[in-house]
A and B are shown apart, each in its own frame.
Chain A
Amino acid sequence: MTATAGQANEIILRTRGVGKTFGKFVALNNISAEFSRGAVTSIIGPNGAGKSTYFNLLCGAFPPTKGSIEFDGRDVTGLPQHRFAHMGIAKSFQITSVFPQLTTRENIRVGLQALVSRYDIWRPRARLTELIERADELLALVGLWESRERAAKTLAHGEQRALEIGMALASQPRLLLLDEPTAGMSPEETRTMMDLIVKLARERTVILVEHKMKLVLGISDRILVLHHGELLAEGTPQEVRQNEAVKRVYLGQREH
């Protein structure tokens, strides 16, 4: 699970000088980074640092205004987002984003279906039984089996966050991007979520956004620190914790 950077094929994802501007506002500037296959990398930084913007570039939600993105040795800059998903990049949203009126199970089933059948207008979907079975497995994995028939909008906040993860997993990602998966969770829910993330990381590459540094120190192989749209520091948890620039940014900022 430890990063073994260096060899080209061990790098699953690479960004070269990517930047993103909204109008005149530079949200992200010149970020070059490499992500090792199988590793857990965390991206931390204060509010507005550009973490979610960086994530949106990585999952293809919008293209960078400059620079390029390479996934599995292939230049993917500017591809539409659904193509990112087909390649095996999935993300969970910082602000819960599910299909509110659909049942919990259907939320996951639709996620699974994207890999199998996107334009079939004739076969009854109830006949895609393997999808329903896989959905039920994922429901059990994220702890939502009991709520499977409820509309997603009626789930509690913590359950919706779990559904978010379940839907990201439904895409069978090789690269899983999690944007503040513990946002708004109680300490207990947070612990359950972190355990789940550790478990998921055994089988796939995970990149995690978090603004609470403490949470990710223990589970990350590498940490990137963003600040005002710039890459402030990068290294092992140990290195990042001792980094003077990082200390300055986090100094006096209460960890909540």
Chain B
Amino acid sequence: MTETARSIKQSGVATGGWYQFVTRHRASIVAAVILVFPLVMPFTALAVNILIYGLYALGFNLVFGYLGLLSFGHAALFGTGAYLCGISIVHFGWPWYAAIAAGVAGGLLMALLIGVLAIRTRGIYFAMVTMALSQCVYYLFYQAVDLTGGENGLRGINVRTIDLFGLQIDFINPMIRYYVIAAFVIAAFFVMSRILASPFGAVIEAVRENEMRARASGYDVTLTRLLTFVLSGAFCGLAGALQALHLSIVPIEILHYETSGLVVMIALLGGMGTFFGPMIGAAVFLVLENVVSVWTVHWQLIVGGIFIACVLFFPAGIWGTLIARSRR
């Protein structure tokens, strides 16, 4: 590689200092943190939740932070992933890995469907259209009682052991379950890092920065948006599939618009358009929710207040603010 090639950063956004080192090794850093996380976090169930919502937010952030479109319908992608994974196991008796693949494919195809209908709209209209479409998806799954269990949710996703090349792994053991799920989440972070550092990753950011200019430069803005939305769907579908395995049931609330809103909050809290933001946001939000709900029933009020304060005083989010500070 030439001198100039070596000096180019993974991202074209102007930054400096330690941030460059962190960016270069971003996926490995996430992996390391995830691997030691259960040692400092005594509640494994909460730790698993953080992983899954972190992954969900990672997928969402591709559209929200990197592409610059606010989707209010990501619950449909997350939920479809969970339902398809669960249905494959409960109704078709598929092995766990095929069920996860079904979840990923489900999120991807649902994103394609919603994307085709919504991608030409902008700003608040995109948020409204995605939200409306995800409500349709909610209704659809709600009505398909035979497959989804309707109101009661899909029950009986019992994966007790995971068969890994003949090796029987005990999926009931919380710690083992954490590391199985962590393996998928870590892999997803590596893939995301790769996508962001790819030529297409540059196109995504260019479209966010200036749509008119991207078009004049020769990029098909609509297709770029659609592909990004579909990629996002695959990540969210995976998160949903892991959620189904983790909970053993898929509650219908997973498709509720609150699930769409939650991921917006997590991304804003952590820092939109940053690599670590989604995981940090998920950790802070879920830990806060857990701690506060222990000592008061009005926890939503307090968590909501803290969230509003964060957005007002640190609009770039936790990680985004740290980056900005380091640049001064």
Contact = CB atoms under 8 A, between A and B. Distances in A.
Interface string B1-14: 11011001010111
Given A101-B14, A122-B194, A115 B218 contact: yes
B168 interface: no
A173 to B, nearest CB: 10
B307 interface: no
B140 interface: no
A156 interface: no
A100 B14 contact: no
Contacts, number: 138
A114 B217 contact: yes
Interface residues of B, number: 35
B206 interface: yes
Interface in A82-115: 82, 85-86, 90-91, 93, 97-103, 105-107, 109-111, 113-115
Contacts of B221: 82
Contact of A102 (B10, B13, B198, B215): B13
- The size class of the interface chain A forms with chain B is 35 or more
A16 interface: no
Contacts of B199: 113, 116-118, 120, 123, 125, 128
Interface in B28-66: none
Nearest to B194: A122
Interface in A110-138: 110-111, 113-129, 132-133, 136
Interface of A: 59, 61, 80-82, 85-86, 90-91, 93, 97-103, 105-107, 109-111, 113-129, 132-133, 136, 149-151, 154, 167-168, 170-171
A99 B209 contact: yes
Contacts of B4: 129, 132-133, 136
Given A121-B231, A122-B194, A167 B213 contact: yes
7 contacts: A93-B213, A118-B220, A122-B195, A124-B197, A126-B8, A149-B14, A168-B216
